[in-house]
Amino acid sequence: MKKLIYVLLIVVISVSGWLFLAQQEVTPSASKPASSNNSLLSADNETYARVLKPRTFVFPQDHGAHADYHVEWWYFTGNIQSATERKFGYELTFFRFALTPEQKLTTSKWRNNQVYMAHFALTDVQDNRFYADERFSRAGNNLAGAEAEKYHVWLYDWHAEAGEELGSGIHLEARMDDVAISLDLKSEKKIALQGVDGFSQKNAEPGNASYYYSYTRMATTGSIQVNQQSFDVTGSSWMDREWSSASLSAQQAGWDWFALQLSDSSELMFYRFRRKDGMQDINDAGAVFNADGSKISLNFSDIAIQVLDYWKSPHTHITYPAKWHLSVPKLGLELDITPLINDQELNVRYRYWEGAVRVTGKKYEQGINGQGYVELTGYQ
C-alpha cells in the first residue's frame, strides 16, 4: 500500500503550512487546517482530484507529478552490500502535497501551492547504527519538484534522476553530514501494477484509494559513504509510486507494510491495517509477483502474520514488532522476517519505523530466503 503517510502530511502542514499559505492567494476554506482524525477527505479537501476507479497508466508522464491530487510519493528502499559483504539498507523518499486545489497564475518564482518533503536513511548493520534526516521545501524557484519526460524528482541536492540514454535506469544521490549514497538502479522486471490494474482501494469510503505501481526488483550498484569510509556496493532496490487524495478511515490506526524480494526471483508486497477495535481489516491486500512477471493477488483472508518479538525504542519509548512469521497457505509460503537491526526508527516530524529485513523460510517445503523492507506506522 506504500505509502499512506497522511498523518505525517497533516503534521507537516501544521508545522510549515503557515509559511507557504502566506505566499498564496487562497480562499478562506482552502486555508483551513486538516482535521486531526486522519481524514484528509474533509469538506475542504473534496475539490482535489479523487481516485474513484481504475485508469490507464501512461509513461513516462505518470513518473512525474500529479498536482491536482493532494498527496504523492516516490519511494526507494534497498538492501546493498560491499565486496566484503558488509551489509547496509537505505531509504530515499520524496513526497509532494498540495496546500490548495488550484494554483493561481503568477509571475512569481516563489509563489507555489506545492510543497515537497524528503526522507533519507541508512542502516549500517556491522556498526548497528541507523542514520536518518529529512528536508522540506516549496516547489517554487526550482528548489524541489518532479518532471516526467526525463524521470527526475528532487529536493535541493537530493534527487532521483534517469540517465541520458533510454532505459539506462535511475540514479539516486543524497547526503547528510558524513553519510551519503550515490546509486544506480536498473529494473529487472516490468512495472508492477498494485491493486486492480494499479487501483488500490484502502477502505470502503469512495475515493479512499490510490493509484499505485512499483518496480519490485532493481539491480543496484554504486557507492556509499559512512563516517569517512567509502564502500562500493551492489544489491537490489524496490521503488513504490502512489498518488491520492484519500485517508485512513476512522477505525484504521496505522499499517504494517511488507516488501520482500525472495530467492526464487519472486516478490511479495502486503499491507495490513491495524484497527482501533483490534479486529482484522478486510481491506488488507497485496500481491506476489512471480519470476516471469505474472501476478497473484492477495486479500485479507489469504495471509496470516504473527508477531514473534518486540522492540522498545530508547528514543521515543514506542514498542514496535521486531520479528514476524508470514504465512500464505495457498502458495505454500512460510516466512520468518527479521530486522537487520532493531533500531530503524525515523524520529522525524512524524515518527515511524522503516527498516531493512532478512527473510528465511520455505516454499512448498523447499528452502527459500530473501530480503526486503518493512514499514510500521501509527504505533504509540
Q: Is residue 125 part of a domain?
A: yes
Q: Is residue 15 part of a domain?
A: yes
* pLDDT score at 341: 98
Helix (H) or strand (E) holding 90, with range, is strand 87-98
Q: Is residue 334 part of a domain?
A: yes
DSSP 62-75: GGS--TTSSEEEEE
Closest CA to 343 of 335, 331, 351: 351
Q: Is residue 53 part of a domain?
A: no
The boundaries of the domain holding residue 95 are 6-46+58-376
* pLDDT score at 167: 62
The total number of structural domains that make up the chain: 1
Q: Is residue 52 part of a domain?
A: no
Are the beta carbons of 326 and 258 closer than 8 angstroms? yes
List of the chain residues with pLDDT < 70? 1-46, 103-110, 164-167
Q: Is residue 262 helix, strand or coil?
A: strand
Q: How far apart are CA 342 and CA 92, in angstroms?
A: 19
* pLDDT score at 43: 39
Report residue 358: phi and psi, to 5°. Answer: -110, 155
Q: Is residue 51 part of a domain?
A: no
Closest CA to 182 of 289, 320, 90: 90
* pLDDT score at 249: 81
Q: Is residue 1 part of a domain?
A: no
Q: Is residue 163 part of a domain?
A: yes
* pLDDT score at 148: 83
* pLDDT score at 130: 98
Q: What is the CATH number of the domain that holds 210?
A: 2.40.370.10
For residue 33, the 8-state DSSP code is: P
Q: How far apart are CA 113 and CA 350, in angstroms?
A: 22
Helix (H) or strand (E) holding 7, with range, is helix 6-21
* pLDDT score at 1: 53
* pLDDT score at 7: 43
* pLDDT score at 52: 92
Specify which residues 361 forms β-bridges with: 335, 368
Q: Give the chain's radius of gyration (CA, Å).
A: 20
Q: Mind listing the pLDDT tens digit for each residue in 128-173?
A: 999 999 999 999 888 999 998 889 999 999 999 997 665 679 999 9
pTM, to two decimals = 0.88
* pLDDT score at 31: 28
Report residue 61: phi and psi, to 5°. Answer: -55, -40
